[in-house]
């Protein structure tokens, strides 16, 4: 579970590899405080989850399941409705009154967001849409943790040592993100516009310099570390997209989707004319990221 704006990990749980993610999510809910807002992936859509969040006095935003058709109670504004959903698993008479918001964003398919923030004046539909759009950046958090910090292979041999190694990785991510947050505040930029990979490199240099130094020198090195993180911004590449399928992703990354010359063919004589000595074949593929 991450904080959306500073991108700092807040809590995590571990279990056996065959444990359901829905079971782990219930354990994460215990770490929430009353008044917290949880942005949930649509794969966790469940009536029981909503009940647990309401009992914990927490708010949530989640996309509505595709096959779900809630009963409309009242229309709050265009594309904004007060609806009633029921538990289709066991208790059909159990219902919840929630708010359904239709989100239309250029370049994306239409989404239906479900939330328990019922006041349209205090929580506008546009604010809810922009807020949930930030949740999509969590894939970037996972990439920074797995790829940039190389947290795909572990040196542990037991579950206890794995927990310790994972905790040390999380501590490192938290400290680096905390420094990036301070650097973003000084530069008056969103933390997402600073490069985590360059900040990790600066952190490695900083740790080598700070070992065995006095307090005054350590404070100076800390300020220099923050200033170094300020210099590295993420290069924006608008319009770039990659398919979610791994095979298509590799093909596009390697440039295999571009038209190529085919293998030369053997000349085939005809009755009245002769074909060219070589024939060129080109197969083009077009992919769209939805």
Considering only CA atoms, which of 262, 268, 193 is closest in space to residue 231? 193
Residues 130 and 164 in one domain: no
Residues 154 and 108 in one domain: no
Outline where the chain has alpha helix (H): 21-29, 47-55, 125-133, 138-143, 159-187, 196-210, 215-231, 246-253
Specify if 141 maps to a domain. no
Considering only CA atoms, which of 208, 145, 147 is closest in space to residue 174? 145
What is the domain extent for residue 61? Answer: 21-136
Residues 131 and 155 in one domain: no
Last residue of a domain, one of 81, 109, 136: 136
Specify if 69 maps to a domain. yes
Last residue of a domain, one of 81, 108, 136: 136
Look at the chain and report how many structural domains it folds into: 2
Specify if 282 maps to a domain. no
Contact partners, residue 199, CB within 8 Å, separation at least 6? 176, 179, 180, 183, 229, 232
Read out DSSP for 136-166?
GGHHHHHHIIIIITTTTS---SSHHHHHHHH
241-279 pLDDT tens trace: 666 677 777 777 676 655 555 555 555 444 343 333 333
Specify if 48 maps to a domain. yes
15-45 pLDDT tens trace: 888 999 999 999 999 999 999 999 998 889 9
Percent of the chain with pLDDT over 90: 32
């Amino acid at each position: 579970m991450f904080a959306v704006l500073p991108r700092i990990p807040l809590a995590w749980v571990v279990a056996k590899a065959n444990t359901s993610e829905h079971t782990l999510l219930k354990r994460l809910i215990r770490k929430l405080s009353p008044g917290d807002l949880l942005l949930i992936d649509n794969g966790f859509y469940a009536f029981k989850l909503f009940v647990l969040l309401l009992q914990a006095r927490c708010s949530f935003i989640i996309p509505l399941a595709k096959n779900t058709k809630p009963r409309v109670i009242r229309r709050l504004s265009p594309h904004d409705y007060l609806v009633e959903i029921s538990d289709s698993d066991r208790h059909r008479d159990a219902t919840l009154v929630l708010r359904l918001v239709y989100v239309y964003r250029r370049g994306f398919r239409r989404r239906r967001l479900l939330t328990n923030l019922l006041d349209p004046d205090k929580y506008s539909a546009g604010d809810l849409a922009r807020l949930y759009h930030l949740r999509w950046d969590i894939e970037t958090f996972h990439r920074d943790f797995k790829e940039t910090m190389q947290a795909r292979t572990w040196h542990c041999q037991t579950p206890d040592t794995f927990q310790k190694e994972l905790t040390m990785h999380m501590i490192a991510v938290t400290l680096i993100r905390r420094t990036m947050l301070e650097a973003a505040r000084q530069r008056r930029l969103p933390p997402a516009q600073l490069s985590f990979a360059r900040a990790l490199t600066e952190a490695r240099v900083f740790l080598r310099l700070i070992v065995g130094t006095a307090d005054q020198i350590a404070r100076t090195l800390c300020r220099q570390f923050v200033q170094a993180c300020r210099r590295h911004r993420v290069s924006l590449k608008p319009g770039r997209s990659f398919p979610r399928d791994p095979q298509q992703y590799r093909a596009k990354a390697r440039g295999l989707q571009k038209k190529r010359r085919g293998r030369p063919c053997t000349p085939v004589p005809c009755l009245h004319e002769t074909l060219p000595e070589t024939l060129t074949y080109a197969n083009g593929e077009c992919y769209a990221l939805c």
